[in-house]
Homo-oligomer: A and B are copies of this chain.
Amino acid sequence: MLRSFLRTALLVILSLSILSQPFAQSGSMLGFNSDSARSQNALEAKFDSFLNAENLREWMKRMSAQPHHLGSKYGKENAKFMEDKFKSWGYKTEIAEFEVLFPTPKTRIVEMTAPEKFTLKLNEPALKEDATSGQQKDQLPTYNAYSIDGDVKGPLVYVNYGTPADYEELERRGIDVKGKIVISRYGGSWRGIKPKVAAEHGAIGCLIYSDPKNDGFYQGDTYPKGPWRSENGVQRGSVMDMPMHPGDPLTKGVGATKNAKRIDRKDAETLTKIPVLPISYADALPLLRNLDGAVVPDAWRGALPVTYHFGGGTPTVRMKLEFNWEMKTIYNVIAKMEGRERPDQWIIRGNHHDAWVNGASDPISGMVAELEEARAIGELAKTGWKPKRTIVYCAWDAEEEGLIGSTEWVEANADELRKKAAVYINTDSNGRGFLGIGGSHTLEKFINEVGRDVSDPQTNLSVWERARAQQIVNGSPLDRNEATSRKDLRIGALGSGSDYTPFLQHLGIASMNIGFGGEDGGGSYHSIYDSFDHYTRFNDPGFKYGIALSKVCGHAVLRLANADTLPFEFTNFTDTVGQYINEVTRLTDTMRDDTKRINQLISSGMWRSVQNPADGLREPKMKDEVPQINFDPLKNALTRLKDSSSFYQRVSAGKQPNAAAQKALDEILYKTERVLTRTEGLPRRDWFRHQIYAPGFYTGYGVKTLPGVREAIEQRDWREANEQIVIVSKVLENFAAEIDKAAKLY
């Protein structure tokens, strides 16, 4: 499901001349003493020697040979295939099954009834250049899962990306979507936000299309000539209200086992409020051509050969959608290798295996890298080696519909995971290009070290050096500056969009999401053209970056599993939290200045005086002035955090505590992430418990850091902002107290 390549922000003090040297293993290894680091390096070299790109190719061909979505026969076969593999490699393997709600289309009719008749095709044609594209019988039709049923008719309004800001623009134009159907382009926010915001504004239906500007011929040659989405390609996808909670809509917070307590479907808060359907740009073109009203502003215009208008009068569109609301069994594959010393400390590694259709890229490209990694670790085990901690390999089902497989498994095993889960490492679609990492910043230094020791397949650099070079060459001046003043690349914060969410944001398990990308653009996402043929022509033909992914994640798993002390580190986390605190402070100041300025422009009549009378724009509404917000509690907490993290760094540098204390120390370290959660969760969405990272309520996948504080500010709820500042500050203080406890064990 994961869409966008995770960008890292990268910064280092090393001079440019490093590029003239071959990449070198870093001297120290976080969590290891020099002896154990040496044998760990040898172990990783051995691990690398087992990796074989041909396996990735063969497994991708096999697993993407048929459509393998949630509930499909081939999805179950893939699970069984992997179960057998894991077993053969020496893992204790099981298939964890759940029963979940899964709607599939019964009726899909969209037609323009005026000013001319047009019935949308709603169909992706087979291509002779793509061997699996003709498996129509087993393909899911093009649709958005968890749209409600509906039969609606009304005038169409173009809403750009359908974000709250887009509706502010519509309001200024005097355009109301009440009782109307909206058409939004993909992009600008996660797709589920579009029908959610449309419904909040009174729309009765929502079409989502892929505009060629974002995802089609504007970007490059279309499939099969090039990798980009052709006029008939459609992006399927879930539109459940995941920012409320992911997973099965009927079993929030508990595992969807056969006998789990379920709510009634009509009470499920994550189904959409209006019918929604995705369409191709060939289907969208006649509709857009018939929109009336004013011309949209520049930022709203796509690449279709029409003048984009707001609409609101014509055309009239009818949408009729009916779904089979069925319960389906899903199959997570869970494979364990018991730790020899600290078996109750789990290093968990996962990728989903279900797809929308054939899913060669999403998710099989990541899944086969994980399989090869697991196989190589199995090979190591056959030589007699055993990890100090337990390694758990997972292959999730039903991710595409709303992270269902991982969420249900996490909810069903919450108590055990709270105790034992040390780190979760996720991958999803993998491509060619630059290492991208998002995750808990307590693992930032660790994963930087891992990246420094893996070579890039296309250059003579490490994957870390190439990511850093990218930031220096193509980054903003700010990025470039960071790159000359900070030792580690800054990793991104995680919002949502793949299976780390239940681990990180529901349970507070330190997590990372890792992948390569940036040089493999294309538009096969969630279409029948995400195939073996497409992937091996345009993405990572030689599976070299698949192997690089196996290395980065495999080394990370091996280090985490073997370390004397778990390699958590707190000064980088503190540095980044300090940035977040600056951001929310500046955001408030900017909003205060802007509000004052714009209110003055409106009340003085100046705003009105410069409007083109021909445009008929309404004046924006004046907004309440922004009061002073007291950020001192956060600043004080940050000071405390700085002290504690520096102190821990000093006492732990180059040392290990005595053997007796190590297990206890580990437990304090990996449970620091738990302290960043609160059982009460975030305001209005208690399933999301993490106080530092959350998917945005109105962005979807897009992360909001310090979400309680930031979203209160963005929503101009100043009372809540002040409350949340106190809450988050307390969380940070508690976190500092845990670091202090850890420091005492040295």
Contact = CB atoms under 8 A, between A and B. Distances in A.
A745 to B, nearest CB: 42
B601 A473 contact: yes
Contacts of A16: 600-601, 604, 606
Contacts of A616: none
Interface string A608-626: 0110111000000000000
A458 interface: yes
A614 B539 CA distance: 11
A307 B225 CA distance: 11
Given A609-B461, A610-B470, A307 B604 contact: no
B610 A458 contact: no
Given A221-B295, A303-B303, A469 B606 contact: yes
A607 interface: yes
A301 interface: yes
A395 to B, nearest CB: 31
A477 B466 CA distance: 36
Contacts of A465: 609
A203 B28 CA distance: 58
Nearest to A228: B307
B307 A217 contact: yes
Given A221-B295, A301-B218, A610 B473 contact: yes
A676 to B, nearest CB: 34
A305 B305 contact: yes
Contact of A217 (B305, B604, B606, B614): B305
B604 A19 contact: yes
A383 interface: no
Contacts of A20: 604-605
Nearest to A612: B519
A179 B218 CA distance: 29
Contact of A295 (B220, B458, B474): B220
Interface of A is mostly: mixed
A609 B469 contact: yes
Nearest to A465: B609
Contacts of A301: 218
Interface string A202-213: 000000000010
Contacts of A304: 305
Contacts of A634: none
Nearest to A602: B473
A44 to B, nearest CB: 23
A489 to B, nearest CB: 14
Interface in A693-724: none
A472 interface: yes
Given A433-B612, A474-B610, A609-B19, A307 B218 contact: yes
Interface string A289-305: 00000010000010111
A245 B331 CA distance: 78
A459 interface: yes
Interface in A71-121: none
Contacts of A426: none
Contact of A459 (B306, B307, B609): B609
A17 B604 contact: yes
A306 B212 CA distance: 10
Residue with the greatest number of chain B CB neighbours at <10 A, chosen from A307, A458, A604, A614:
A307
A610 B469 CA distance: 7
A220 B307 contact: yes
A222 interface: yes
A657 interface: no
Interface in A458-509: 458-459, 461, 465-466, 469-470, 472-474
Contacts of A212: 305
A222 B600 CA distance: 37
A306 B225 CA distance: 13
B473 A307 contact: no
A459 B610 CA distance: 9
Interface string A585-607: 00000000000000011001111
A150 interface: no
Interface in A1-35: 16-17, 19-20
B17 A607 contact: no
Contacts of A681: none
Contacts of A612: 433, 519
Contacts of A307: 217-222, 226, 228
Residue with the greatest number of chain B CB neighbours at <10 A, chosen from A16, A461, A600:
A16
Contact of A613 (B218, B306, B458, B613): B458
A601 B459 CA distance: 15
A660 B404 CA distance: 95
Nearest to A16: B604
A536 to B, nearest CB: 14
Nearest to A304: B305
A473 B605 CA distance: 11
Interface string A649-691: 0000000000000000000000000000000000000000000
Contacts of A226: 295, 307
The 8 closest A-B pairs by CB, nearest first: A16-B604, A519-B612, A305-B305, A470-B610, A469-B606, A19-B604, A220-B295, A459-B609
21 contacts: A16-B606, A19-B605, A19-B606, A20-B604, A212-B305, A217-B306, A218-B301, A219-B307, A228-B307, A304-B305, A434-B610, A459-B609, A461-B609, A465-B609, A466-B610, A469-B606, A469-B609, A472-B606, A473-B606, A473-B610, A519-B612
Given A217-B306, A221-B295, A466-B609, 13 more contacts: A16-B606, A20-B604, A219-B307, A220-B307, A221-B307, A228-B307, A303-B305, A461-B609, A466-B610, A469-B609, A470-B610, A473-B601, A474-B610
